[in-house]
Chains A and B, each alone.
Chain A
Amino acid sequence: MRYAMVIDTLKCVGCSDCVVACQTENDVPIGYCRDWITETVNGAYPNIELELKSERCNHCENAPCVRCCPTGASHQLVNGIVLVTGDECIGCGACIESCPYDARYQHPDGYVDKCTFCHHRLEKGQLPACVSVCPTKCMYFGDLDNPNSEVSELLKNRKHKTLAPEAGTKPNVYYLI
């Protein structure tokens, strides 16, 4: 089992529904977020390209945040999900510094917080909140160890990329381009 998210940038309109859905699902305090939208504009009028995409923790196979955590609060499950155990976290912020995606934030309650792939929903057989709400259906979620899963099929058939591959983190969030 290796959970992965695949996001189709050709469909994303950058509406931020994923951000609000995550906030209400996970009680992320107002002013903080576990996922966010980036907008990249290239070219000059009228030959322009625009890429919109939803970003979050990449649940990296080679996760620097897990390696640098002094207490073991940051850890990785066998299914690849990277989690933080709140009451083991001392809020030192080393993981925040080590993350090339800036995916973690200091929760006002004193621990570090980030995307969990909605681990609690997966337990119930539900998709992550962001995936289930997206009005453009541009987000897919599934098991990369299963060659017949939707995410495996998409990565087989479509041109894609990951973010900051040079960091060597082996991310599990893929972008169709």
Chain B
Amino acid sequence: MTTSRRKFIKISALGLGGVAATTTALNMFGASSYIDELVKENVAKTFKRTATYCEVCFWKCAAWTYTDEEGAVKKIIGNENDPHCYGRLCPRGTGGVGMYNDEDRLKTPLIRTTVNGEQTFREASWDEALDLIAAKFKGIKEEFGAESLALIKHGAPGKHLEHLYQAFGSDTIAEPAYAQCRGPRETGFNLTFGSWIGSPEPTDIRDTKCLVLIGSHIGENMHNSQVQEMSDAIDNGATIITVDPRFSTAASKSKYWLAIKPATDIALMLSWMNVLINENIYDKEYIEKYATGFNELKDHVSTFTPEWAYGITGIKPEEIRKTAREMADASPAVIIHPGRHVVWYGDDSQRARAMAILNALLGSWGRRGGFYFKESIKVPEFPAPEYPHPKWGWKEIGAKYPLAQMGITTEVIKCAIPSEDNKYPVKALMVAGTNITKSIPNKKLLEEAIEALDFMVVIDTMPMDVTGYADVVLPECTYLERYDEIRSATNREPSIAIRIPAVAPKYDSKPSWWIAKEIGERMGVGEYFNYTDYKEVIEWQLGQMGTSLEEMEKIGVKNFPRKSGSMYLNETGPHEFPTHSGKIELYSNELKNLGFDPLPNYTKHPEPQQGFYRLNYGRAPMHTFSRTANNPNLNDLKSENNLWVNPKVSRILGLKTGQEVWLKNQDDIISTFSIKVRVTERVRWDSVYMVHGFGHQEKKLSRAYGKGINDTELISSVAIDPIMGGTGMRGNFVTILTENPHKNTEI
């Protein structure tokens, strides 16, 4: 292996191109619009609709794909019976057609090769690519054990590959959705109530009287049913309280916007607890009946007065009291929202604990307008032999984080770097459905690990940046072109949804279930894939569940009645929470026994030095992660991110809206590309803000390449949550460069 073997390849090379079969959609009305005759003709036009659920984000809204008489995909419309979308998709779901139409899609398997000393990719047949993967995987399995084959995955494709991995004996599996996203809140709420939050969040927003958002920007995150329910709550006159240093869209809908100093949220929440307890306005009956550790909590927060918090958070004591009383007035129909992307400062599980404790004090867990008890229906496993038991896997790799409940991507990746104390050598990596160079921080570590690998496979629909590091790239077809797992959702009522191909796979792309099966058969574990088409699996499962593919093709979504009883607490008798004590644990003995704070504390976090600004990032409603930036429909709405700068800062630095700047972080890492300034009062003077997911380095992404800055490349300082291994990413600081730092270098 030469050291430059894994040099990033811009996929544009060798043998590709020339085959871009762009299908320009015909105008629905013919060339000339709105002649009455044509309108009439169009009114009479019939579409065929095929059931699916969306894969543009993780919310998985059920929908109908509309194809015209020629079989062309025309539009995607939400399924009215689906509790994830109630018939209304978000812009990404509506723009899912762009994922299918994108002419930059991966079109054929690619294999890394060297031509005249230059590394490049060459097109390959599926047989050749799959044979190569199976041979490499088998070799590594024999030499090091199947455990040395790691998988980093996301979404529907990940599920099929997880099955493959478990079939050949590896549990070395992780996804950014945990340690780079919602892990801390699952741990924090689990410690307190004994249940994960999960997805979708069981927040009873439609019936709430008070919604408290702490850094959560519903409306900019388009978590569909939640956005819809927030809108219902606005209609119902609910109070919204938003805590955010930035004037988010949600802040603009709020009765109270608390413009908090970044990284001080725990102090605010401790002072809210102080007010609720001191003023005796917490839900006493609920706490007495269902919770333990109240006296410890009371003592703990006794000194955390609003006056104490004012000095830390910058929020006036009367505002803190007023908002706490507002919550108490609404109690129990109040939600301290757990948020979703919550890896901020490394004490994130403790911040989630503070949120959980506040919810307990307000009596909102298990109450109407607070949190409901979710329920899902189990999809029976398709018959297959029992999985072998790996000697080690994600659990052992993440063992130093005692409450990690899923694989930690960064720890799995570190295992690829050889060292004497590395007991868990990772030799090959498969990445499916996630662009890890933009979803996992600390690019240096990532590149070092990738460099050390013997073999790397990437499965995606698009030539994402991560494909440039692979030895083999496999083109997956989009969700509109394949069968997938049955979506079983946890909700107020259980529901299932199915995904049926509306069109045949474009180019030479294939579904992930097929890829998993083909590799499995080549590796000698074909008995785990006892079907020729994934349709057979779904048919069997649906039959077991008392429905059929025929029925599901017609309805797309099936809702089932609850079996676990009321979705709210039955308050006539006792209730056992699934915690150690059977009660809501305000004080956590589990944390204490592990050597952590049993009650949350405020810790001061690093602040920007002079001339530096905290780098905050968030979402835009029309994009998901970094995966949609090249989607023609969604790129049309937002093609690049901007750097939000407060006018005070722009005056000092002489910046103007639209001006091109570069960023340098505290570790001297300079952004690859430039970003345009947006001077706005919506951001604080001590921080800058940008939407995540831009700054693509892959030239083959013709629309997204070089547009804006990739926030993740500037996140080199990572504050690890010692409880569960989450990677806190909001402690990075940037300075703004007005001169091009790359003037003399080629990117």
Contact = CB atoms under 8 A, between A and B. Distances in A.
B42 A13 contact: no
A44 interface: yes
Nearest to B226: A135
A43 B249 contact: no
Contacts of B533: none
A13 B257 contact: no
Given A13-B219, A138-B231, A48 B32 contact: no
Contacts of B230: 136
Contacts of B234: 10-11
B31 interface: yes
Interface string B229-265: 0111011000000000001010111000101000000
Given A24-B97, A138-B231, A46 B259 contact: yes
A49 B249 CA distance: 10
Interface residues of B, number: 62
Interface stretch (B108-116, B431-439, B678-686): B678-686
Contact of A15 (B26, B232, B622, B632): B622
Interface string A116-134: 1001100110000000111
Interface string B627-648: 0000011101110000000110
A52 B249 contact: yes
Interface string B184-225: 000000000000000000000000000000000001101010
B32 A136 contact: no
Interface stretch (A57-65, A79-87, A143-151, A167-175): A79-87
Interface string B688-725: 00000000000000000000000000000000000000
A135 B90 contact: yes
Given A41-B680, A135-B227, A14 B621 contact: yes
Contacts of A44: 647, 681
Nearest to B94: A20
A133 to B, nearest CB: 6
B39 interface: yes
B58 interface: no
A75 B251 CA distance: 42
A19 B637 contact: yes
Nearest to A137: B231
A10 B252 CA distance: 9
Interface string B31-43: 1111100011011
Given A41-B680, A135-B228, A14 B249 contact: yes
A24 B681 contact: no
B437 to A, nearest CB: 27
Given A13-B219, A133-B89, A86 B252 contact: no
B88 A135 contact: yes
Nearest to A129: B75
A50 B249 contact: yes
Contact of B681 (A41, A113, A124, A134): A41
B534 to A, nearest CB: 28
Contacts of B95: 20, 24
Contacts of B220: 13
A31 interface: yes
A46 B231 contact: no
Contacts of A33: 636
Interface residues of A, number: 49
A11 to B, nearest CB: 5
Given A41-B682, A135-B228, A17 B91 contact: yes
A19 B91 contact: yes
A20 B621 contact: no
Contacts of B227: 13, 15, 135-136
Contact of B636 (A30, A86, A135): A30
Contact of A16 (B25, B27, B75, B91): B91
B629 to A, nearest CB: 14
B29 interface: yes
Nearest to A46: B259
B198 to A, nearest CB: 21
A167 B253 CA distance: 30
A52 B646 CA distance: 20
Q: Which of A24, A52, A119 gathers most chain B CB within 10 Å?
A: A24
A13 to B, nearest CB: 3
B594 interface: no
Nearest to B74: A24
A27 interface: yes
A27 B637 contact: no
A45 B26 contact: no
B231 A45 contact: no
Contacts of A51: 252
Nearest to B43: A123
Nearest to B633: A20
Given A14-B249, A17-B94, A50-B249, A111 B33 contact: yes
A21 interface: yes
B76 interface: yes
B27 A17 contact: no
A15 to B, nearest CB: 4
Interface in A1-52: 10-11, 13-17, 19-21, 23-27, 30-31, 33, 41, 43-46, 48-52
Nearest to B246: A45
A113 B75 CA distance: 20
A46 B228 CA distance: 27
B94 A116 contact: no
A73 to B, nearest CB: 9
Given A16-B621, A20-B94, A46-B247, A86 B35 contact: yes
Contact of B75 (A25, A41, A49): A25
A167 B671 CA distance: 47
Contact of B228 (A19, A43, A137): A137
B297 to A, nearest CB: 31
A116 B712 CA distance: 42
A120 B27 CA distance: 14
A33 B88 CA distance: 20
A166 interface: no
B384 interface: no
B14 interface: no
Contacts of A138: 231
A134 B43 CA distance: 22
A15 B35 contact: no
A83 B219 CA distance: 33
Given A48-B681, A48-B682, A52-B249, A15 B33 contact: no
A136 B250 CA distance: 12
A119 B231 contact: no
B634 A20 contact: yes
A27 to B, nearest CB: 4
Interface of B: 25-29, 31-35, 39-40, 42-43, 74-78, 85, 87-91, 94-95, 97, 219-220, 222, 224, 227-228, 230-232, 234-235, 247, 249, 251-253, 257, 259, 621-622, 632-634, 636-638, 646-647, 680-685
Given A14-B621, A51-B252, 14 more contacts: A13-B220, A13-B253, A15-B219, A15-B227, A17-B88, A17-B94, A20-B622, A24-B75, A45-B247, A46-B259, A48-B247, A49-B252, A84-B34, A136-B228
6 contacts: A13-B621, A16-B637, A26-B28, A45-B684, A46-B257, A134-B88
Per CB-CB distance, the 6 closest pairs between chain A and chain B, nearest first, are: A86-B32, A13-B219, A15-B621, A50-B252, A87-B32, A46-B259
